[in-house]
Amino acid sequence: MLRAPPRALPPRRSGKVRPLNRSVLVSGGNRGIGLAVARAFAEAGDKVAVTCRSGEPPEGLFAVRCDVTDAGQVERACKEVVREHGPVQVVVANAGITRDRLLARMSEDDFSAVLDTNLTGAFRLVRQAAGGMMRAGGGRIVLVSSAMGLYGSAGQANYAASKAGLVGLARSLARELGSRDITCNVVAPGFVDTDMTQALSEAQRARVLGQVPLGRCAEAAEVAAAVRFLASEEAAYITGAVIPVDGGLGMGH
Ligand code: NDP
């Protein structure tokens, strides 16, 4: 027999995050997955800002110069975005690097540089954006991790550690900020066709793809679709989740 729940569920908040015209900030949004994410939000009618560390800013998007390893630059970039588009309602921490080496050859600098960009960089960005979300009483945080964070990857101890760290960061923030109607989730892509994976040799690509049940790379737009869903009104009750977009590589992990 079904029993009534011991206490009524709290009414769902009206949701300060509206489906369109939100202030969205994407780090590393000048190319690859970040650019696809930024374009997906812009196509849906959001006001999108991207951080751009180097190169030309992408056409048609508001771009702010920012290296996520520099706390001062992150703070200035977020302030610029708030001035242009209003307080950030959706933040996507996407900027990331690899410095692959086997353990014996991995220097402390190789390790800490990857952690500083991928994990601490995400922390710096989210910390800046979350203040406005708390004041507004709502928001969406999405961290771009990797299937390798939970799967592990020989030659990528630094990268996998940084990406696993994002899961702990997201789940802690989900607990800390949930009462403010702020969700925090992780997207964990597998093998995506971008500059990052173009750097691999044919043999490396073939080896990775051999482990992917769907037998192909993801398009960056397929990762963007998951990010956009987690930032949508439909995902209002999802927080602390890790959503794989990996063609089955990690079998749900
Ligand atoms: P790319 O190498 O194509 O793009 C990386 C982006 O991050 C660029 O915009 C780059 O800026 C930016 N970036 C790097 N370091 C910094 C920094 N210190 N400050 C600011 N921006 C920085 O990578 P992808 O698009 O493939 O990857 C995007 C994210 O997705 C990364 O976090 C990556 O780890 C993750 N991912 C990628 C997968 C893949 O198969 N491609 C799989 C799983 C996860 P700049 O142009 O200046 O270099």
Q: How far apart are CA 106 and CA 147, in angstroms?
A: 21
237 is catalytic: no
CB under 6 Å to ligand 1: residues?
Answer: 27-28, 30-34, 51, 53-55, 66-69, 94-97, 117-118, 121, 144, 146, 189, 191-192, 194-197
| Phi, psi values for residue 245, rounded to 5° | -130, 75
Tell me the per-residue pLDDT of 24-37, one tens digit each, with 9 for 90 and over: 999 999 999 999 99
Residues of 135-150 as b/e, b for ≥16 C-beta within 10 angstroms? ebebbbbbbbbbbbbb
Q: What percent of the chain has pLDDT over 70?
A: 92
What is the 192 CA–ligand 1 centroid distance (Å)?
11
Question: Which pLDDT value is given to residue 16?
Answer: 53
Amino acid at the residue 72: G
CA of 150 from ligand 1 middle (Å) equals: 19
Residue 185 scores a pLDDT above 50: yes
114-134: average pLDDT: 98
pLDDT at 252: 86
Residue range 31-46: average pLDDT?
97
Percent of the chain with pLDDT over 90: 85
What's the rounded Cα separation, in Å, for the pair 123 and 13? 26
Type of residue found at 229: F
Q: Write down the residue that tokens 């998951």 correspond to.
A: 226
Say what the ipTM of the complex is.
0.99
- CB atoms under 10 Å from CB of 24, counted, come to 27
CATH superfamily, domain at 23-245: NAD(P)-binding Rossmann-like Domain (3.40.50.720)
pLDDT at 7 over 50: no
Does residue 10 register a pLDDT over 50?
A: no
- Distance from the Cα of residue 44 to its chain's centroid: 18
* pTM of the complete model: 0.93
Q: What is the overall mean pLDDT for the chain?
A: 92
- ∠ CA 200-218-64, rounded to 5°: 80
CA distance 163 to 56: 27
Is the distance from CB of 123 to CB of 69 less than 8 angstroms?
Answer: no
Residue 175 identity (one-letter amino acid):
R
For residues 62 and 84, what is the distance between their CA atoms, to the nearest angstrom? 9
pLDDT at 91: 98
pLDDT of 223 = 98
Tell me the CA–centroid distance for residue 136 and ligand 1, in Å: 29
Distance CA(163)–CA(118), nearest Å, equals 7
pLDDT of residue 198: 86
User: pLDDT for 192-243, tens place per residue?
Assistant: 999 888 888 888 889 889 999 999 999 999 999 999 999 999 999 999 999 9
